[in-house]
Amino acid sequence: MNIKDDLLSFHRDGFLLIKNVFSATEVAQLRARAEAFGDRARELGQIFEPRAGEVVPAADLTAPFGGEILFDARIQEIVHTLLGRKADEDVVYFGDSGMMLGGHGRGFHKDNACRDDASHTDWLTPYTLIRLGIYLEDHKAHSGGVKVRRGSHLVADVSTGEIVDVPTEAGDVVVWSLRTTHSGHALRLKGLPFLHIQPRFEQRLPRSLAVDEPCRRVALFMTFGLDDHHLKTYVDKHADLESYPDNYLYKIWLHSDPDPKLAELAKSRGCRIIHPVPDYGKLFASTEQVAGGFIATGPGTPDRYPAKGAEVLIQGMGKIVRRVFPSAAH
């Protein structure tokens, strides 16, 4: 695995696909453990409220895997290289990871703290938080993978950049900047594998026109960064329950493993763990049944992106269609 040669394309495009990081045997083991953990979390109601059929346990990846994935030497080599750190220089893990099983929700968005204001500090210096995705099935020929906009990490909108359905296969790792515009559950069209379309159009597309997913979609996600103002801005946003009540990341922190032995393992791989809130790990390994069958989360402040270019035409046509055919709005 030599990703130093890909640094330029990562900084230019805002994402990078790294092939064959995990073996077929490892993928099968990860899938089995993830599905078992996810199904158990669903039985206990320790999942976030499903929005589109997905199962998302309210815990980070230390709960099902300990430090096995987060601090795997291959993962840390990727993280250190893309963040410009030597093996003996610290990167930071701060409890932001998880898994998603199944689901079909999609829509372009960014994940950084301030997504729509180019004058915010998130956009004034090179961004240093990255997310890694491990998809445990094939999305090169099948639907269900991640869709990104090339170069979108450089602009504070979600309409800029060539649309790319990342051709991940089981065992690959895809990395993107938290500023990169992306969407999950991309559809691959039958007979048109080269056509990568807007998530909003995918939502309205008859499923008979799309290639099915090969099996139940299982995806693992993890976020790392440097100890700088970008990390502080991101952590502060999710630690502030007055401004962002019921946010998902705070609740993940409550269910994450606070074991000091994880910090020792992480340190041996050049990674430092921080616990952003005093209650970190308070509910780790809880077997209490959650009333209602899920853990509620609330939305943050809505992003507001001014329409420009083709987006103006698309939104205008949408308004006309909704007026002429009111049922189309539902």
CATH of the domain at 209: 2.60.120.620
- Phi first, then psi: what are they for 305, rounded to 5°? -110, 120
Domain count, the chain: 1
Residues of the chain with pLDDT under 70: 306-319, 321-322, 325-330
Write the CA distances from 95 to 141, 192, 253, 308, 322, integer angstroms. Answer: 32, 39, 6, 36, 42
Phi/psi region, residue 78 (left: phi>0; alpha: psi -120 to 50; beta: rest), is alpha
Assess if residue 189 is contained within a domain: yes
Assess if residue 116 is contained within a domain: yes
Q: What is the pLDDT of residue 305?
A: 74
Q: What is the pLDDT of residue 330?
A: 45
CB 295 within 8 A of CB 49: yes
CB 220 within 8 A of CB 21: no
For residue 253, what are the domain limits?
4-304
Assess if residue 175 is contained within a domain: yes
The count of other CB atoms within 10 Å of the CB of residue 146 is: 24
For 66, the token pair is: 């300990």
- What is the distance between the alpha carbons of residues 106 and 200, in angstroms, rounded to a whole number? 8
Beta strands in the chain (DSSP E): 15-18, 54-55, 91-102, 129-135, 147-149, 163-165, 173-177, 182-183, 218-225, 271-273
Assess if residue 256 is contained within a domain: yes
Q: What is the pLDDT of residue 2?
A: 77
Assess if residue 155 is contained within a domain: yes
- Tell me which amino acid residue 187 is: L
Assess if residue 319 is contained within a domain: no
Q: What is the pLDDT of residue 123?
A: 98
Assess if residue 207 is contained within a domain: yes
Assess if residue 284 is contained within a domain: yes
For 172, the token pair is: 């690959």
Q: What is the pLDDT of residue 7?
A: 94
Calculate the dihedral angle through the C-alpha atoms of 52, 291, 245, 98, rounding to the nearest 10 degrees: -50
